[in-house]
Amino acid sequence: MNFVKKIALAAAITVTLACTANATPLKYEIKGTGSGSLGGTTFSNQAFDISFIGDAAGTPDLIDPLTSAQIAVSGLGTATLNIATRVGLAGTTIVYFSHSESQGGLDLFDFRVLTPISSLNSVFTVAGTDIFALDQFKNISSTLGNVTLESSSDVVFSSSDVSAVPEPETYALMLAGMGLIGVAARRKASKQAA
Mean pLDDT of 114-118: 94
Task: Grade residue 21 by pLDDT with cuts at 50, 70 and 90.
Answer: very low
Write the pLDDT tens digit of every residue in 152-180: 999 999 999 987 566 677 777 777 777 87
What's the angle, vertex CA 149, arms to CA 145 and CA 153, rounded to 5?
145
**What is the C-alpha to C-alpha distance for residues 18 and 40, in angstroms, rounded to an integer?**
47
Task: Grade residue 78 by pLDDT with cuts at 50, 70 and 90.
Answer: very high
| Helices 168-193 and 3-20, packing angle to 10 deg | 170
Longest dimension (CA), the chain: 82
For position 191, what pLDDT does the model report? 80
Backbone angles phi, psi at 75, to 5 degrees: 85, -10
Backbone angles phi, psi at 168, to 5 degrees: -55, -35
- Neighbour-count burial for 69-81, b at 16+ CB within 10 Å, e otherwise: bbbbbeebeebeb
Residue type, 93: T
Percent of the chain, pLDDT > 70? 85
Mean pLDDT of 64-76: 94
Task: Grade residue 86 by pLDDT with cuts at 50, 70 and 90.
Answer: very high
- Neighbour-count burial for 91-123, b at 16+ CB within 10 Å, e otherwise: eebbbbbbbbeeeeeebbbbbbbeeebeebbee
Share the mean pLDDT of the chain: 86
Q: With 0.85 as the threshold, say if the pTM is over it.
A: no
Write the pLDDT tens digit of every residue in 25-37: 899 999 999 999 9
